[in-house]
Amino acid sequence: MAKKVALLQGNDACAQGALYAGCTFFGGYPITPSTEVAEVCSIELPKIGGKFIQMEDEIAAMASVIGAALTGAKALTATSGPGVSLKQELIGYACIAEVPCVIINVMRGGPSTGMPTGPGQSDVQQAKWGTHGDHAAIAVAPASVQEIFTETVRAFNLAEKYRMPVQVLYDEIVGHMRERIEFPEPGELEIINRQGPTVPPEQYKPYDTAFGDVPPMADFGSGYRFHVTGLNKATDGFPTTKAEYVDAEQRRQIRKVDACQADIEKNEEYLTEDAEVVIFAYGSISRSARYAVNELRKAGIKAGLFRPITLWPFPEKRIAALGKQAKAIVVAEMNLGQMVLEVERVTKGSCQIEFIGRVDGEPINPGQIMDKVKEVK
């Protein structure tokens, strides 16, 4: 049977992907350029008995999502840069309390109100370092309408599997672009649900490390009564200031992602096997980069594209290897130098690093990338 296809906007595809993943709760606040995610959820969620709530502010939206997730719901919010800044407080809460949820960030310029209707990629470091304190981060960066769908599904899977907030970052261009999308059949994409407790309620500890680095999670109202707090806590969920508990819990929460990077990491490489110049680009800019690679190859320049789909954890090993293989890595992003810092960090001077940044609300075009590649010595 032919697959269902549609011409769909990126933000709409995000909402459809969330529904496919089993999302039943959306808590949000209007903000350009992400609002269509909320609008579609407000129409579609009640049809399946799910809940949509427009909260009084961005922080409240994040709070409602965490509250809903604690009852067992797969919960979503969607926002943009300024909204993410506000949500950081409770993204940190979701990290420490280990509450699965998905945050969509349709990136615009900044800081502050910036250029609400223009595209940007300046929240990519915020996705890692935005909330205070040490914590693991998972963030993905789709580059097409189809991929927004599949990466939103994957974001829910990762949130449920690793019991943590996962951010989906795409720039306004991808968010507002309309493209053909093929809807996966039910069951075609893997759907992961959080691991519930296997012990009786009286033995349940919400952060029990006996089951590995991702403790089983009970739902509020299921008969398993437990305590959730933003304070440093012991494995029983209650606050502690005992150094050994605090240290062990903090390290476990980072290790649970670090140790599973192979499962979380996802990249696309195009003509990198023999590339002398690797272009590092993500989101809409990776589309300009792919075009540039084709043109450069025609001109006899061995160019390739590395496109991280998972931004965090950063693909350290692969970039380090490419840094040894290539003469240069050219990083192109709609900010003034964010992921390039990671590329510099992991290549440790093994190759030339060139940077193209743009923050004027216009995308980086293939010509700009080609010019920069031609400068490589």
Partner 1 sequence: MAFDYDKYLRPGKLPHIWCPGCGHGIAMKGLIRAIDTCGLDKSNTAIVSGIGCASRLPGYVDFNTLHTAHGRAAAFATGVKMAKPEMNVIVVGGDGDGTAIGGNHFIHACRRNIDMTYVIFNNSIYGMTGGQFSPCTPTGALASTTMYGNPDPTFDISKLAIGAGATFVARTTAFHATQIDKLIVEGIKHKGMAVIEVLDDCPTAYGRRNKFRSVVDMMKRLKEIAVPVAAAAKMTAEQLEGKVLTGVLYKEDKPEYCEQYAKVIAKAQGA
Residues forming contacts to partner 1 in the complex (CB under 8 A) are 24-25, 27, 43, 46-47, 49, 51, 53, 55-57, 59-61, 63-73, 75, 89-90, 93, 220-231, 238-239
Q: Which residue has the tokens 């690093």?
A: 353
Annotate 52-99 with DSSP letters as a single string. Answer: EEE-SSHHHHHHHHHHHHHTT--EEEEE-HHHHHHHHHHHHHHHHHT-
Peptide bond connecting 366 to the previous residue in cis, omega within 30 degrees of 0: no
Peptide bond connecting 100 to the previous residue in cis, omega within 30 degrees of 0: no
User: Nearer Cβ to partner 1, position 209 or 229?
Assistant: 229
> Min. distance of Cβ 359 from partner 1 in angstroms?
32
Q: How far is Cα 341 from Cα 9, in angstroms, rounded to an integer?
A: 32
Q: How far is Cα 100 from Cα 138, in angstroms, rounded to an integer?
A: 11
User: Nearer Cβ to partner 1, position 45 or 174?
Assistant: 45
What burial class does residue 348 get, using C-beta atoms within 10 Å of its C-beta: 0-12 exposed, 13-18 middle, 19+ buried?
A: exposed
> Min. distance of Cβ 25 from partner 1 in angstroms?
5
> Min. distance of Cβ 218 from partner 1 in angstroms?
9
Q: Which residue has the tokens 């954890």?
A: 313
83 touches 29 (CB < 8 A): yes
Taking CA atoms, 190 is separated from 177, 187, 260, 292, in Å, by 26, 7, 18, 34
DSSP state of 273: T
> Min. distance of Cβ 196 from partner 1 in angstroms?
15
Q: Which residue has the tokens 């350009």?
A: 32
User: Nearer Cβ to partner 1, position 197 or 315?
Assistant: 197
> Min. distance of Cβ 304 from partner 1 in angstroms?
45
> Min. distance of Cβ 216 from partner 1 in angstroms?
16
139 touches 168 (CB < 8 A): yes
User: Nearer Cβ to partner 1, position 66 or 159?
Assistant: 66
User: Nearer Cβ to partner 1, position 228 or 321?
Assistant: 228
> Min. distance of Cβ 334 from partner 1 in angstroms?
31
Tokens describing residue 104: 């969509």
Bridge pairing between strands 75-79 and 25-28: parallel
> Min. distance of Cβ 173 from partner 1 in angstroms?
31
User: Nearer Cβ to partner 1, position 196 or 367?
Assistant: 196
Q: Identify any residues that bridge with 354 across adjacent strands, giving them in sequence order.
A: 330
Tokens describing residue 223: 């008969």
User: Nearer Cβ to partner 1, position 66 or 173?
Assistant: 66
> Min. distance of Cβ 99 from partner 1 in angstroms?
10
> Min. distance of Cβ 57 from partner 1 in angstroms?
6
* Other residues' Cβ atoms within 10 Å of the Cβ of residue 351: 20
User: Nearer Cβ to partner 1, position 228 or 248?
Assistant: 228
Which of 125, 117, 88 is CA-nearest to residue 175? 117
Residues making up the chain, counted from first to last: 377
Tokens describing residue 149: 């769908």
User: Nearer Cβ to partner 1, position 211 or 226?
Assistant: 226
Residue 69 is which amino acid? A
User: Nearer Cβ to partner 1, position 68 or 155?
Assistant: 68
